Amino acid sequence: MSMYFTEDHEWVRVEGDTATIGITQYAAEQLGDVVFVELPEIGKVVAKGSEAAVVESVKAAGEINAPVSGTVSAVNGALEDAPQTVNEAPEGDGWIVKMTVTDSSELAGLMDEAAYKAFVATL
């Protein structure tokens, strides 16, 4: 299992050809209290960098962009009743979407955890 990060504060955990995607702790703290998560339809094809979901907080709404291209295979339906899970466990139970990866070479452009922590330290 490998975990990667984007400069837009999304994380992606890859197991085989399945990518689980969410927002980082940093992003959750910046957003404030999440009040709604707009989940995509299962089967939706999403290109790297395009909108996979939307997270709305008391402060703002933010797009969750796909860190890799793929097809939505699952969504975290628990977020419909408990959107605050994104704040409570953004890199765990607060995951947002799972996708079947179509081009794993796209992962090469993402940061590992050490690089992401160094990036956040500059903000």
Give the residues of the chain that fall short of pLDDT 50.
none
Task: Report yes or no on 32 lying in a domain.
Answer: yes
Alpha helices in the chain (DSSP H): 25-31, 78-81, 85-88, 113-121
Paired residues of 65 in beta bridges: 51
The one-letter amino acid code at 32 reads G
**The predicted structure's pLDDT at residue 66:** 97
Are 91 and 25 in contact by the 8 Å Cβ rule? The answer is: yes
Task: Report yes or no on 87 lying in a domain.
Answer: yes
The structure's pTM equals: 0.95
Specify the residue for token string 């959107």.
83
Give, in order, the Cα–Cα distances in Å from 46 to each of 26, 102, 118: 24, 10, 28
Q: How many structural domains is the chain composed of?
A: 1
Task: Report yes or no on 72 lying in a domain.
Answer: yes
**The predicted structure's pLDDT at residue 1:** 74
What's the CATH number where 55 sits? Answer: 2.40.50.100
Fill in the DSSP letter of residue 41: P
Burial of 46 (0-12, 13-18, 19+ CB in 10 A): buried
